[in-house]
Amino acid sequence: MAGRYDAIIVGGGHNGLVCAAYLAKAGRKVLVLERRHVLGGAAVTEELYPGFKFSVASYVVSLFRPHIIRELDLARHGLSMIPLECSFTPHLDGPGLVRWPELAKTRREISRLSQKDAEIYPEFSLAMTRMAYFIKNIIDRPAPDPTSLAPSEMARTLEFAKSFARLDPDLFHLHSQLLTMSAVDFLSLWFESEVLMAPMSCSGIIGTFLGVRSPGTAYVLLHHYMGEIDGAFRSWGFHKGGTGGLSLACARAAQSFGVEIRTESSVAQVLVKDGAARGVVLENGDELLSRAVFSNLDPNRTFLKLVNSSDLDPEFLHQIRRYKLRGSSGKVNLALDRFPEFTCRPGVGPHVQGDLAICPNLDYLERAYDDAKYGDFSRRPYLNIVFPSLVDPTVAPPGKHVMSIFVQYAPYHIKEGAAAWPSRRDAFGDAVIDTVAEYAPTLKESILYKQVLTPWDLEQTFGLTEGNIFQGELSLEQLMFLRPAAGYARYRTPIKDLWLCGSGAHPGGGIMGSPGELAAKTALSAGAV
Amino acid sequence: MSADVLVIGAGHNGLVCAGLLAKAGRKVVVLERRDILGGLCAGEEFHPGYRHTGLLLDTTGLRPWVVEALDLSRHGLTFETKWPRYFSPTDSTDLCISCAPNGGSELEAPVAQRWSAFLDFVNRVRPAVEPLLNEPPIDFASAGAREFLDLVRHGWTARRLGKRDMMELLRIPPMSVADWLREWLPSEHLCAIWSLPAVSGTWMGPRSPGSAANLLRILCTMQMPVAGGGDALVQALAASARARGVEFRTGCRVRRLRAHAGRVTGVELEGGEEIAATAVVATCDPRQTFLDLVPKRQLSDTFEARMVRFRQRGTTAPVNLALKGDVHWASEHGARAHFVRVAPHPDDIERAFDAVKYRQMSERPVLEIHIPTRGQPELAPSGGHVMCILAHFAPYHLEGGWNDDARARLGESVVAQVARFTTGLREQIAGMEVLTPADIEAQYGVSGGHIHHGEHALDQLLTRPSPEAARYATPLAGLYLGGSGAHPGGGITGAPGALAARAVLHSSGG
């Protein structure tokens, strides 16, 4: 026992590690406790099959904030990104569609679908880039509280409002559309081809329980454009050796500042005395004391499992209970003996080195969503596939491949009940593999190993309540000053010295590092740690 | 012929607008393409001896200040004295509920308690919501001193709610109505009954984010319904307008607007006749106004492109049944009900909505029903009844297009849904009128057959129909938009027409 800590971080996900690093960098004595044997939470690499390294859950990095990389000197600690440059949508008939890093090449591809769309594509990219600059302001700072009358808060809200007002009227209108429209309606402001809009709209639904035509999905489209503007790396990328490498870089940075990290240390409870967090109790009964506790877990787990409900105000509990976490996605990881040929565009060319999306048209995506609405996994799901082994030979033996398949929709609440997922797991995995096999018929015979993760598995393995990969739906009513609850969007919780530092806090999920960073900075500047 | 102001369209908004302009001393002529006044609110004989009271069934949103300004009670307008009760059958149990303070009294105790807590919340936030629908929209973009004051004023009203209610209020608009209601009401059936009006006429299901805003708006403007429905309102509005000297020309189609040097100078009618005016208020829908009526090259490409993309795909089919005798609902509640909602579960509404995504009509449509003969037996021959139904969902763009066969299928699926919960319905049917979105477009001139003149989604409600035309004046000087395609949107409120009239008067110096 190393005595009392300034801060204990519950959960060694990437946000927890970032938070720890910032606190330690400021001279605080910090302990990170991770339940599993590996660090990284959902951003982990595991060798599930000899010689094959899997980014088990989170598989691409797009939003990690460049200033965090600089401030924590992550490159020196092993951060190494490989850009993911193109996006391939195979079709059952025709050559499919590839969006390349080179604009001219992309326009040639799109012109096969619509000349008009090909012409307007650059204009769309420009508009999105301009908006991404604006949204960056939102995610790089704590959310304002528009209901507060405190002068500092009013100034913050005013500053926020002014940044809107500074936009020219057309761009202002576009932002209000971006925040409220469906991905498809928003894309329809430019495009006409549903076959083009299908893969473009998909980034709006990832991790949500919404369809591409549901209002509110346009906003997440921007995430695709965020990386681009930061210049640190292109919009999407792999971490060399797997996503877990990013977490390990954060961990090494944290350790370099003196953070102590313990794995296989499951926290049973946050110690609350006189309304303030004073440390944690581990599953094994050990008590660890600290001045402050930061929870990297989702709000549901934090407040409904780690804390006694008697320590919380019923009104707050009500808000946490209704906080929506309905997980909607699963994951299938495959070790392959050889690369599966995609019939519509065979070969191991550059087109398969980016991400692949199975989403031939908008109706396909809507039908996938409809299945989920009524409590089934999609019979023909939307799939986002990457083969990290094509660009990173360190993750698989020579000639062999790692295939990561993100699957939507797989609702946590299936009609048989979430606990019935284990009995539906095989059928779910089959639906996914059958779907891919329609486009790549040789897939099935090349599978060496298969891991199927249902949302129930994501909950069991990673502690994500209801399998929600963003620790709470990214819907407008759960963002900004409402994430995770009104009045508690600033990482603070109703329990003094208990802070939130995970994706369930502003600005939300995705491998950004922002909640961890902002939680640490907020607590430090408040003198709370 | 000439006028100070021409109002295109004699729907309820056109009549309100005309009346208010005439009241301010303007010489107003109203041009209506149909032979009767009232637009979607007009009551008509749809089968020999049977009349309906208008296609829009809900009159509870009519703004009291409009009624007052036009002195409508002096022109025959009266209101019901009881809150409407909504009867809703399912295969097992029935519900009967209203928004009256004791409106949930027939519910089981825990549900009744939650229902009244929900209404309490609505009544608490109403003072912050209602003004937004009574005034022109806040102009965020121009950010002048007046707009800033507006914002502060609204902010202050909202702030008076207290932090908790205010946060709660900010949370609701982007939500789906099903999510919102489920937070309050422990009954799926009750959630369905109140999800239905939120998605009525829209391209949304109860799971669509933003649908909660529609219910909030309906509940926060709820008044006693007009006795006699839309038809009675039209009669009172017309009488009030006539008394102030408004001239009506029915059967009069506008071919296009006349403009000179970027300013409206009048209209040209189908027959070639021209009418000069210094201002024109179009109460027809935005797409028709800007894409069909405004002469070419008067509008910027950007603005025109915005109107092309303004979403106005109708999803609702009015169906009117002429019944020889009474309808027998499986439960006794039904015998007294003026209003019926057929939507047992939110998923039933969602499934009905799913169809339009694939350009199909719902196999099991969900229904809003009004039986006007319960209060006005004279609308049907002795002993007979009229059942006015809004059936959801039927897409404007039906796969294969609308034709007699498709219309008959739609009618049959609606009858089958009613028959599920009644006995002996089919034998009572003397006649039936089925209006598809395509029919609404052809007969009433509403583009896309959209009963709200444009989708009620957040983006199209915040800025309706576009930034250039969001405050009634349009990019073409002298042309104003005064129908449901302007703020605060569709439904029988009278607000767009009244606020457009105000904008006309403002710009011409009172």
The more confidently predicted of residues B93 and B64 is: B64
Note whether B360 and B401 are within 8 A (CB): no
Percentage, residues of chain A above pLDDT 90? 78
The mean pLDDT value for A122-131 works out to 88
Most A-contacting residue of B138, B140, B347 (CB-CB within 10 A), to test interface: B140
* Nearest alpha-carbon partner for A319 in A305, A300, A301: A300
Determine, for residues B467 and A164 on separate chains, whether the beta-carbon distance falls below 8 Å.
Answer: no
The mean pLDDT value for B483-498 works out to 98
Determine, for residues B204 and A215 on separate chains, whether the beta-carbon distance falls below 8 Å.
Answer: yes
pLDDT at A158: 75
Determine, for residues A173 and B463 on separate chains, whether the beta-carbon distance falls below 8 Å.
Answer: yes
pLDDT at B157: 75
Query: Is the preceding omega at residue B225 within 30 degrees of 0, hence cis?
Result: no
pLDDT at A228: 54
Tell me the pLDDT tens digit for each residue of A371-406: 999 999 999 999 999 999 999 999 999 999 999 999
Query: Nearest 5 degrees, angle CA B419-CA B421-CA B424?
Result: 50
Q: Which residue in chain A has the smallest CA separation from B305?
A: A189
Phi and psi, residue B255, nearest 5°: -85, -50
Chain B residues touching A188 at Cβ < 8 A: 309
Give me the DSSP letters along B166-233: HHHHHHSTTSBHHHHHHHH-S-HHHHHHHHHHHHTTSS--TTSBTHHHHHHHHHTT--PPBTTHHHHH
Q: Indicate whether B143 pLDDT > 70.
A: no
B150 touches A: beta carbon within 8 Å = no
Which among B167, B179, B208 has CB closest to A487? B167
Tell me the pLDDT tens digit for each residue of A266-291: 999 999 999 999 999 999 999 999 99
- Residue B197 — very low, low, confident or very high, per pLDDT cuts 50/70/90? very high
Chain A to chain B Cβ contacts (< 8 Å)? 93
Chain B residues touching A472 at Cβ < 8 A: none
The chain-wide mean pLDDT, for chain A, equals 92
Determine, for residues B457 and A215 on separate chains, whether the beta-carbon distance falls below 8 Å.
Answer: yes
Q: Indicate whether A233 pLDDT > 50.
A: no
Determine, for residues B462 and A180 on separate chains, whether the beta-carbon distance falls below 8 Å.
Answer: yes
Most B-contacting residue of A170, A175, A182, A413 (CB-CB within 10 A), to test interface: A182
Q: How far, CA to CA in Å, does A495 sit from each of A122, B128, B167, B284, B350?
A: 49, 32, 20, 56, 40
B350 touches A: beta carbon within 8 Å = yes
Tell me the helices (H) and strands (E) count for chain B, helix number first: 18, 18
The CA distance from B449 to B319, in Å, is 14
Q: Which residue in chain B has the smallest CA separation from A326?
A: B179
Chain B residues touching A374 at Cβ < 8 A: 347, 351
Chain B residues touching A315 at Cβ < 8 A: 164
pLDDT at A62: 75
Chain A residues touching B458 at Cβ < 8 A: 180, 215
- B residues 378-437 near A, CB within 8 Å? none
Chain A residues touching B351 at Cβ < 8 A: 374
* Nearest alpha-carbon partner for A363 in B450, B356, B392, B448: B356
Which among B168, B175, B354 has CB closest to A370? B354
A interface residues, B as partner, C-beta within 8 Å: 146-149, 164-165, 169-170, 172-173, 176-177, 180-181, 185, 188-189, 210, 213-216, 315, 322, 324, 363, 366, 370, 373-374, 475-477, 481-482, 486-487
The mean pLDDT value for B36-49 works out to 98
Q: Indicate whether B156 pLDDT > 90.
A: no
Q: Which residue in chain A has the smallest CA separation from B309?
A: A189
Task: Please give the CATH topology (third level) of the domain spanning A5-43+61-80+238-323+473-525.
Answer: FAD/NAD(P)-binding domain (3.50.50)
Most B-contacting residue of A158, A164, A476, A480 (CB-CB within 10 A), to test interface: A476
Looking up tokens 């024109």 gives B280
Most B-contacting residue of A162, A170, A477 (CB-CB within 10 A), to test interface: A477
Note whether A346 and A441 are within 8 A (CB): no
Determine, for residues A173 and B141 on separate chains, whether the beta-carbon distance falls below 8 Å.
Answer: yes
Which among B171, B358, B458 has CB closest to A215? B458
Map out the domains of chain A as residue ranges.
5-43+61-80+238-323+473-525, 114-192+203-234, 329-465
B175 touches A: beta carbon within 8 Å = yes
The CA distance from B266 to B250, in Å, is 17
pLDDT at B147: 66
Q: Which residue in chain A has the smallest CA separation from B160?
A: A147
Determine, for residues B459 and A322 on separate chains, whether the beta-carbon distance falls below 8 Å.
Answer: no
- B291 secondary structure, DSSP code: I
**How would you label B479-500 residue by residue, b for 16+ Cβ within 10 Å and e otherwise?**
bbbbbbbbbbbbbbbbbbbbbb
Chain B residues touching A147 at Cβ < 8 A: 159, 163, 166-167, 170
pLDDT at A234: 45
Structure tokens at B164: 């908790």
Instruction: List beta partners, residue A406.
Output: A331, A384
Enter the pTM of the model.
0.95
Looking up tokens 């500092």 gives A152
Which among A170, A366, A487 has CB closest to B163? A487
Q: Indicate whether A157 pLDDT > 80.
A: no
Nearest chain B CA: its distance from A165 CA (Å) = 6
Most B-contacting residue of A166, A180, A371 (CB-CB within 10 A), to test interface: A180
Determine, for residues A477 and B204 on separate chains, whether the beta-carbon distance falls below 8 Å.
Answer: no
Chain A residues touching B349 at Cβ < 8 A: none
Tell me the pLDDT tens digit for each residue of A71-100: 999 999 999 988 888 899 999 999 999 999
The chain-wide mean pLDDT, for chain B, equals 94
Percentage, residues of chain B above pLDDT 70? 98
Nearest chain B CA: its distance from A505 CA (Å) = 16
Which among B166, B209, B347 has CB closest to A476? B209
Determine, for residues B143 and A370 on separate chains, whether the beta-carbon distance falls below 8 Å.
Answer: no
Nearest chain B CA: its distance from A169 CA (Å) = 5
Most A-contacting residue of B118, B306, B357, B487 (CB-CB within 10 A), to test interface: B357
Which among A148, A170, A366 has CB closest to B357? A366
The mean pLDDT value for B150-170 works out to 80
- Residue B142 — very low, low, confident or very high, per pLDDT cuts 50/70/90? low
pLDDT at A1: 45
B463 touches A: beta carbon within 8 Å = yes
The CA distance from B163 to A344, in Å, is 57
B208 touches A: beta carbon within 8 Å = yes
pLDDT at A505: 95
B304 touches A: beta carbon within 8 Å = no
pLDDT at B35: 97
pLDDT at B106: 79
pLDDT at A224: 66
Q: Indicate whether B159 pLDDT > 90.
A: no
**How would you label B180-205 residue by residue, b for 16+ Cβ within 10 Å and e otherwise?**
bbbbbbebbbbbbbbbbbbbbbbbbb
Looking up tokens 């598995």 gives A457
Determine, for residues B174 and A214 on separate chains, whether the beta-carbon distance falls below 8 Å.
Answer: no
Give me the DSSP letters along A314-363: HHHHHHHHHS-----EEEEEEEESSPPPPTTS-SS-GGGSSEEEE--SHH
Chain centroid, CA A334 distance in Å: 21
Q: Which residue in chain B has the smallest CA separation from A487?
A: B167
Chain A residues touching B463 at Cβ < 8 A: 173, 176
Q: Indicate whether A39 pLDDT > 50.
A: yes
Note whether A241 and A394 are within 8 A (CB): yes
- Residue A135 — very low, low, confident or very high, per pLDDT cuts 50/70/90? confident
Which among A185, A373, A486 has CB closest to B207? A373
Note whether A435 and A405 are within 8 A (CB): no
Chain B residues touching A411 at Cβ < 8 A: none
- Residue B149 — very low, low, confident or very high, per pLDDT cuts 50/70/90? confident
